[in-house]
Structure 1
Amino acid sequence: MKRVVLLGGGYVTLHAYGAIVRRLRGELRRGEVEIVVVSADTVHNFHGFTGEVVAGLLPIGLTQTPLTEAMPKARVLHARVTHVDLAARTVQFTGGEIGYDALVVGTGGREPLDAVDGLAGNGLTLRGPGDLADLLQRVRVLDGPVVVVGGGLAGVELAAALAARAAQVVLVQSADRVVPALHAEQPRLAARCTRELARLGVDVRTGVRVDAVDDGSVTLSDGSVIATHVVLATTGQRAVALSGLDPLPRDAQGRLVTTRDLLVAPDVWSAGDAASVAHPRTGVPVTANALWAIKAGDQVGRNVVRALRGRTGKPFRYLGLGQAASFGVGRGVADLYGVPLTGWVAWLMRVGFFLRFMPSRARALQVPGELVRRSRVAEAPSRVVVPR
């Protein structure tokens, strides 16, 4: 029996699994191939609708699918990887060790919290197991504003979502404007993001950085202090480092450098936030977001099957689609193949795209109804009862 081991429970693992299962149905049924998933989380977190969950437009349960449900033909081990032995072709994890014939590293990335004094102990992120649930729990009872650190597209969308649920939000961006990358490519969409933040009352602080965070406040580089107990970091990511993979080539963000067919070592593939994947046309590393992880995960799965059959892998050829963000029902921005879209068109395109890639069809079918119902409740005027 040949064994494929997938590390992590995110997009890369899910889509590599799907590509493998579609091509090896007979081998899996006959017990000639085994798929094992090792993940610190028990669920697949679909981050596409994180903004809607934070804004209160969707219940968190619709965006979380148990790994055993999402990948029923795999053996799922709820554990943390402690070491990978490339020579022995084994993976050690909390509670045991397992050998592999093919290994997929899809362990993703985390915000570099150690870059700011106190942020690691007092800041929240949305990339680790249980992080989104922790944020929702904290914002139920607010003492001061929520401080969002990082003004990229993800930070702007989350700041808007928090403001939509009546939270006071301060967005801190070290650059002189929010969404600077979008400004360079789509200035019209960047301007729309700025207007949406203003509409929602977000206090945007640009040109300053967070110097320190403690249990009750955030200190900025201009000397100002913001009293708060909720700090959300959206400052980008650093790849999760795995012991045993240290000798492999990495980029400045700690991502494993892949070949054109997404190999990082013999019979070891990687993609998503854990990997530096060159764009097929430009050679520049692709953006670390869900769509690139999904498409690269598909290619990894196809190449794993080719390797198990003694064939060489094929290069990753996906060229990209664009990016999008939501600021509430009917309010969105999108860059589709370089074409800027706003309003209902952008919002509907984004929702339709994410529904297509949700791992649970049953949960996906509930999303539109929940969005309509909860948005109506949020927009309904409060009724004043006059006693007779």
Structure 2
Amino acid sequence: MRRILVVGGGYAGFYTAWNLEKKLRRDEAEIVVVDPRPYMTYQPFLPEVAAGSIEARHAAVALRSHLKRARLIHASVTRIDHASKTVTVAPEDGEPFDLGYDIVVVTAGAVTRTFPIPGVKEHAIGMKHVEEAVAIRDRLLDAFDRASVLPPGPERTRVLTVAFVGGGFSGVEGFGETLSLATALLRQYPELRFSDLSFHLIEARDRILPEVTDGPGRWVVRSLEQRGAHIHLDTQLVSAEGGHLVLSTGEKFDAHTIVWTAGNGANPVVARNTDLPVTSRGSVMVRADLRVGTPEDVVPDAWAAGDDAAVPDLASPIAGAVTVPNAQHAVRQGRLLAKNIVATLRGREPKDYVHHSLGVVATLGLGKGIFQWKGIVITGFLAWVMHRGYHVLAIPTWERKVRVLLVWATAVLFGRDIVSLLSVQHPRRAFVGGEAPRAMHKAVPEAQREPAGSVR
């Protein structure tokens, strides 16, 4: 049988493979999915994972639970050589090997974009994966426990200082949700005051949320500032060495938690390790029908979609525009890509991708949100309800929808679960060092300990 190789199991990859399973006959093609993670992350729920409003596993969809016919390979693709129709696969254990294919689907997604700012790689956490969102939540909960035994002063403020770098959707949503969690936690810690909290959002442009128009963007800034947040616009992070943040405006402060959400970068396997045509930004050149190539020249047996593909936006009035990298497009492109592959296998012509935006909706914390569709803007509680309603419908599989709804219902009755599992990041500490108090962990050999302030 022909082998259809899907590189990446994120939104676009998962929906492509899922729909191929539904539409292809069993003797028509073999489906192979290669991804280093055994699950698809539903990224719009990561801010709520960071705030403890959603159980971490419920923001992920296990590939093996839902892709019944596909062969799943948990490894990274390090090179795509379409001339020979092979990819190089690097598993976590064992030697790299070559894997052949007849049709390739490139849905490797994007990676977190970083800059060579001193201290960022050593102290910051991203928010693109479930593990990162969990680490942010546990780090904040642990900070409250530590601060509650400290006297008022600079050290208590440092422990309760959180800085988000990047004012796009993921940054603003994560910032608003963690600020909401921190404010709610004060009721559980009578030793602490609201003035002990210090939340900073740092954005290099002169506005946040570029996906909405200027008016709603300014409303979000005012709303966050009224809740005690510090919004730094037209400001760049210069240094974060030792957790000491230096801004381009000259402001300086210490932060216990630094979250980096300053956008996505090109996936290295697409940008540098393939013979497929790519743009100057490192995205695969894609036609409107999702085949790799240009309007004049098609690359046979190669398809791409999602964040690593420059898909023409036929719904945009701007000539040459490409679709923005978000969940709306990735999900719909994955579905159409599967249909188009089946169509070409059966001798039919593929269809072009056209999708008109359904609007943008963001959560800013429990009971707070913003929605915009063209000239219609809704803010506050109703927008927050719309955010939850849209995403519970959008997350794939009924099993996940029911689990998320049950967690939300439980939170209404009993509030957020505020147990920190930060120790999970250091599972050998108790085993190697015994059950001694934290101060006695110096007995743990240096090779077994991680540097202070490090986060994996």
TM-score between the two structures when normalised by the length of structure 2 = 0.76
Asked if residue 281 in structure 1 is aligned to residue 315 in structure 2, the reply is: yes
| Structure 1 residue 91 displacement after superposition | 1.5
Structure 2 partner of 1:385 = none
Residue pairs, 1:1-388, within 5 angstroms: 1-24=1-24, 27-28=25-26, 31-94=27-90, 95-128=96-129, 130-142=131-143, 143-166=159-182, 168-184=198-214, 187=215, 189-242=216-269, 245-264=273-292, 265-282=299-316, 283-378=320-415
Letter of the 2:321 partner, please give it. Answer: V
CA distance in 1, matches of 2:277, 2:238: 32
| Structure 1 residue 246 displacement after superposition | 4.1
Secondary structure of the corresponding residue to residue 242 of structure 1? helix
| Structure 1 residue 239 displacement after superposition | 2.0
CA distance in 1, matches of 2:64, 2:213: 41
Structure 1 vs Structure 2 CA RMSD: 2.3
Deviates more, 1:173-182 or 1:89-98: 173-182
CA distance in 1, matches of 2:289, 2:208: 35
Letter of the 1:312 partner, please give it. Answer: E
Letter of the 1:335 partner, please give it. Answer: Q
Secondary structure of the corresponding residue to residue 232 of structure 1? strand
Secondary structure of the corresponding residue to residue 127 of structure 1? coil
Secondary structure of the corresponding residue to residue 139 of structure 1? helix
CA distance in 1, matches of 2:129, 2:302: 23
Name the CA shift for 1:86/1:287 in 2 (closer, same or farther; >3 Å). Answer: same
CA distance in 2, matches of 1:104, 1:129: 24
Letter of the 1:65 partner, please give it. Answer: V
TM-score between the two structures when normalised by the length of structure 1 = 0.88
- Say whether the 8 Å CA contact 1:307–1:313 is kept in structure 2: yes
- Say whether the 8 Å CA contact 1:114–1:120 is kept in structure 2: no
Gapped runs of 5+ residues in structure 2? 91-95, 144-158, 183-196, 293-298, 417-456
CA distance in 1, matches of 2:199, 2:17: 39
Name the CA shift for 1:116/1:183 in 2 (closer, same or farther; >3 Å). Answer: farther
| Structure 1 residue 137 displacement after superposition | 3.6
Give CA-to-partner distance per residue, 1:14-72, whole Å, 9 cap, x none. 11123212221xx22xx442111100111111112222211111111111121111322
Give CA-to-partner distance per residue, 1:216-249, whole Å, 9 cap, x none. 2222112322212422111111121216754444
Give CA-to-partner distance per residue, 1:255-299, whole Å, 9 cap, x none. 222111112232111111111112113341121111111111111
**Percent identity of equivalent pairs:** 28
- Say whether the 8 Å CA contact 1:333–1:343 is kept in structure 2: yes
Secondary structure of the corresponding residue to residue 113 of structure 1? coil
CA distance in 1, matches of 2:30, 2:10: 19
CA distance in 2, matches of 1:4, 1:268: 10
Name the CA shift for 1:253/1:120 in 2 (closer, same or farther; >3 Å). Answer: farther
CA distance in 1, matches of 2:375, 2:99: 45
- Say whether the 8 Å CA contact 1:156–1:197 is kept in structure 2: no
Name the CA shift for 1:32/1:66 in 2 (closer, same or farther; >3 Å). Answer: same
CA distance in 1, matches of 2:381, 2:179: 20
Name the CA shift for 1:357/1:180 in 2 (closer, same or farther; >3 Å). Answer: closer
Give CA-to-partner distance per residue, 1:190-234, whole Å, 9 cap, x none. 233123312432221122100122242222112322212422111
- Say whether the 8 Å CA contact 2:41–2:129 is kept in structure 1: no
Runs of at least 4 residues off by over 6 Å:
none
Letter of the 2:70 partner, please give it. Answer: A
- Say whether the 8 Å CA contact 1:144–1:227 is kept in structure 2: no
CA distance in 2, matches of 1:279, 1:196: 33
| Structure 1 residue 316 displacement after superposition | 0.7
Letter of the 1:281 partner, please give it. Answer: A
- Say whether the 8 Å CA contact 2:315–2:355 is kept in structure 1: no
- Say whether the 8 Å CA contact 1:272–1:292 is kept in structure 2: yes
Gapped runs of 5+ residues in structure 1? 380-388
Secondary structure of the corresponding residue to residue 40 of structure 1? coil
